[in-house]
Every structure is written in C-alpha cells, then in structure tokens.
Structure 1
Amino acid sequence: MPAGHGGALTVFLCGDVMTGRGIDQVFPHPCPPHLHEPYVLDARDYIALAEEVNGPIPRPVGPSYIWGDALAELERRAPDARLINLETSITTREEWWPDKGIHYRMNPAHVACLTAARIGCCALANNHVLDWGYEGLRETLATLRGVGIATAGAGALLEQARAPAVLDVPGKGRVVVFSFGTMSSGIPPEWAAGTDRPGVELLADLTPATARLIGARVRSIKRTGDLVIASIHWGGNWGYQVPLSQREFAWTLIDEAGVDVVHGHSSHHPRGIEVHQDRLILHGCGDFLNDYEGIRGYEDYRGDLTLMYFVTLEPTSGRLLSLRMTPMQVRRFQACRASSADAGWLQGVLDREGRHFGTRVTLEGDGSLALHWSGGGPPTD
C-alpha cells in the first residue's frame, strides 16, 4: 500500500548510519584522521581498504553522495517520516572516551549529509554517540538541533535523554519516537544519562517491569491517532539468533506499553522480521552506511547488503498495513541499488529467518521485498 493511500502513514526506517571515521574523511572538511584503535591509527586507511575492493572513491564528495540510489528511492516512495539510528558523534572535540576501542566522529560541517536525505529524526541511544565525550555529545545535539533534525535517546540530563521526539505529519497525526540502548550492544554502563550528567537512555534490563515503566511514559504523551516507535540498540553484531528475552520485551512493549513499531538495530546485517498483534518488530535492521568495505571476516553474512524499510501503518490503530523493503549494497561508501541476484539472496535469508516468527518475504517485480504474515498481507502459502 503506497504512502498516503486511504490516510495510511509510511515511515522510512533503516539501521545504523555511521558517517564518521572513513566516511568523514571523504567529505570536504574531515576531522583530523588520527584514531585510537588497537590496529588502525589513521581513518584514511579505511578509505584505502574500501578502494582495494571496489575501486576509487572520489574526494571530496558532496553531502548527498553517501545516499546514492537511496535518494531516488526515497523520492519514489515518499515516506511521511524518516528515522535513522545515527551511530557517530558530530564534533571536532579531541577528548575521546578512554578504554574504548573504536571512536566515530564526523565534522559538524558535514551535517548536510543528513539533511540531504531529509532525515527527520535520529535515534541516539547507541554505543558510538559518546565516543568523543560529554562535550562531543553536546555538540552533536546542538548540531542536529541547528538543522532541524529531532533526536531521541540522548541528552544533557536524564530527563532530556528520555524525552521522545515528536514528528508532526500534517493531515495524518504524529509519529512519536523513543530511543533506548542496552549494554548487550556494547554501550558502556557509564554512558547512562543521570540527573546530573549527560548520556543515553540505557535500559537496565529487558524485564516486563521495565517495559511497563516505558508504557507509563508512552501514555503520558500518546494521543489518539499517534504512532509510537521504540527504536532499540540491542544485541550482538553477527548472527541470526534472536534471544527470547528480546522477543518477549518487544511483545510487552506492544501489549502493555502502547508501542506500534519496534525498530531494532545493532546487528551488522538484517535479521528476521516478526509481526505481533499486527505490530511490526524489526529485530535487527543491519548497518545502512558504514566504512567497513575491505574489512575481512564474517563474509557469509554479506554485511555489504542492507535494506531500506518502508513501513505503512494505519494511524487510527497503529496496525501494520504493509512493509516494503528496498535492497541496497554499500560500495565506495555509497548506498547503491542491489543487483537482482543480491536482492534474491536477501529475500532468501529473510524468508528463512522469518519462518521462525511466522513471516514470509517475497521478491517483487520491481526488485523490492514484501513482508507477509498471518492475518495480514497476502496469504503466506
């Protein structure tokens, strides 16, 4: 069902957008390239690794470069709201977080790479937003605020980190975004926002009690017709297994907390998709943009392949009407339309993994993927 049909509302979602480190270096005003990693000490080395695999990357690139073919797809699908998990600090600060192996940052001068795709909201409760310390976080928040991009999941104090982003969709209602992180994704416990310190909204656990506390916050802001998204950074980077604790937490968010979509991320590749009570659960969206080209290991998971998720909902009920996914491939730090063979590979993986959750995925004539589930969409068999 296309956006706007019968009053339906469509949200664009994707996984991790990591515009720091190597990607920052191909923009016109890169941060100093020095890194504090165990093995790589210069961010430009990630450019060299990518070029060894896929050929030369032009430099400097314009702000829209990284989105590549995704811009035309966004224009074609015309989603009503656009939400990403931004997994980098936007700062020129030099005080990196000690005892942490990887540090992502992008020069604030490059924030136009987000406005180029008209991103409306960035979820920030993740394991890289404080890589450059509290001052780096403050600059990140100020930079995004300065270009009109809403944020959720991080703030100067706990109250701000917990506050949802509210996106108005004229004529259709509001999309309310809560952002949460878990230590299972690599977020240091010291990053938890407090009443006297900046940080992220870090969940202590995934118990029903925690979900119900979130429910109280949802009820305090949710109006009739609002759609609520819980964007959660959780779990490991590789593998298709979804812990039962995560599934049960997502169910409770839907059943008792009033959440309409669970937007899960942290995995470097897409994971199986679930629908519970006609509500969408994305257990792991996969990375969308990163500088990982040329890094060896885990090739079987095809981390270069990713998805644009177009989630169409009924605003009056929050019920999932359709999910269409556009397969993409990262090449030369750019989102490119995936080949038909790669789209078929993704379809096979998502269909295989979705069977554990009662969903099926088909490859459509336009090269997109469609989700089918019991009680919704076309028959699965």
Structure 2
Amino acid sequence: MNPATLLSLPLLALALGGFVVGSSEFIIMGLLPEVAADLRVSLADAGLLVSAYAMGVVIGAPLLGPLLGRLARKRALLWLMGAYALGNLGCALAPDYHWLLAARMLTAISHAGFFGCATLLAAELAPVHRRASAMALVLSGLTIANVLGVPLGAWLGQATSWRMTFFVVAALGALAVLAMALWLPHGQAPARNAAHSAWGGVLRWPVLHPLLVCCLSSVALFSVFTYISPLLREVGGYSAEQNNGALLLFGIGLTLGNLLGGRLADRGLRHAVPIALAVSGLALLGLFAWLQQPLLPLVLLLLWGMASFAISSPLQMLLVEQAGESASLAATLSHAAFNLGNASGAWLGGLWLSAQYGLSNLPLLGVGALALTLLVALPLPRLRASKERLGLQ
C-alpha cells in the first residue's frame, strides 16, 4: 500500500499511537506538583519519574532494535502499543512512588521500539519526495499530545486525580491498537542483516554524530521543561489554569516546529538544525530575563517549542540515510538518544535545584547545554535531495 497523500488512515493510526506515547511521556510534567504531594516525595524525587521513563527507552532500544528490524511492521506495532496501554494502566494503579517509578520505566521499554518502527513504516507508505514529512506526521502525534494531551491531562489530574489521567491514556492506547489493527497494511517482515551486522551499520561516526546531537538537544530541552510547571507558577506567578494555557501554547509550538522540520528535511536544508538550536537558546535566554512580564513569555514559549522540535525530522531523515540497511535500529536508537538526553536533562535540572542555584536561573542551564549542542551540530552533513534518497523498504 502506498497512499498518494499524507492524510491516509494508516498514517493517522500511527499518529494516534504517537499521541498516546507522547501524552504518557510528557504528561507527568504538568502533574509533577500533584504527584509529589500525593505520594509525599520532594519535587526533585518526582522529577526522577521523568528520568526513569527516559532510561526505560534507553535500555529498551538496543534490546528491541535488532528484533524489530526482522518483524513485520504491523505485528511489531500492535505488540508495542498493546504493551504500552497495559503499562499506563499499571501507572494508574501504582500503590506508591516506587511502584510508579518501576511502572514508568517498564512502560517506556515499548516506547523505545514504537517510534522507530512507526516512522520507518510511514516513510515506506509515503511518496519518495514526502518521506520526511510522513515521518514528521507520525511524530506530530507526539507534539499534538503536548497541545492537547498534556494540558488536558493536567487539568483532569488537578480536577480529579493524577491517576485518572493515566487511566485515560491507557484507554486511548487500546483505541490506538484497534485503529492500527484495522488500518495498517499487512506486509512481510523486512529483510535485515543479522543483529551484529545491523550494529555494524550503526556504530559509525556518520550515524553516531546525529545521535549525539539528538541526545544533547534533549538534555537542553528537559533540563528546563521537566520543571516548567513550578517555574511558571513560582517564578512567573502563573495560576494553575494559566500554567495549563502556557503548556498548551508550548505544545502548539512543538507541533508547528515538527511539521516545519519535516518540510525542511524534504528540501535537504543543511543549516536547519544549527539555526533551530540557536533560536532555542535565544528563547530560553529571553525566558530567564522576562519570565515575569505579562505576554512576552508566552511568545517565547511558542518560539522555544517550535525551535526545539524543528530538528526532529531532519535528524531522523539523516539517520535513515546514513544507516542504510541498519535504518530500523538507527531509528529506534534515535529515540533512545532523545530519552537519554531527557533523563540526563531532568537529572541535571534536579541537581541544579538541589544545589540551590535557584529555579529562576534554571533557563541558564538550558542555554549552556544548547551552546554545546550547537558546536557539535555545526559539522553535520547535508541531507540529500529527495530524488537521491535511499529506498527504505
């Protein structure tokens, strides 16, 4: 099956799965104060729920990557999303902090394989010249989760219980399984090298370089975003409702940036990643200076969100091009790299707060991480024009 447009039922089913994964991954940020209070742990300890999830992705990627490269995409995605729905049910039922920590980590293992498998299937279903945009559409499920899932989940958790939010995510996961079962095309397991050969295709600098950039950019993002709710409430003076509105605006920025990144990747724009990183740094610097102003922080949040995810599709497409027959493993590892940065960023942000450097100064930590990422990203190779791209099937 090779739909002529990006708005096809198979791609929408994949985007729904991305929405479920994105909601579960990021929704904890909007509920961090409520979870910390309910489970009687510190804000820094609650932040470890973000790190535990991220480390689950990091651990799961090398375990699942070679296996998924030899399974039919539909079968793999159904198993992964089914496990994800059950994992979120486990989060909702967790009796204490340590059970929730373990449930988050185990749930994340299935996340490790989902986006790598889903983005490659999306690329196979799309016309050659729209492959990066198709991958971006799947990732848009993750970013739309920040527009709708995170603020609505935060509102639901504040109005009822944070557990109710995870019950809803589990139900949406079951719905995504049904959509993928009905709409994804059947296919043969893709031909792949043996696991050691797949690793041989990945353990090269042209592949490791974009993985490193992906990881460092995630460190910069999550060192601040993990604690965005207390930052907005305690430093910016936002109420809970205003905080949710700001998260909604940030999520809109993520979605727009992701779609923009897909267009830039289709056009092979070399400097898309460095420019986006520089804009992210300027936006964070602006938040540090003007967070207590009435409207400017909202503009800066939108800009920060756009720039943060404009790099996703260019890096993903670059990985697929450079990895060749190891593309399935490379695509899976890209999400491991993102989540290794996620865990490291949340941990660094927690260290910053524990060291009493101040919540109001936290954006400066993100600016420093972005400056390092920009230096590493400058030598990235140019994306090839669409007509020259390798086939993915």
Class of the TM-score when normalised by the shorter of the 2 chains: under 0.3
RCO greater where, 1 or 2, for CA within 8 Å and sep 6 or more?
2
Give the TM-score normalised by the residue count of structure 1: 0.28
- Between Structure 1 and Structure 2, the one with more strand by share is 1
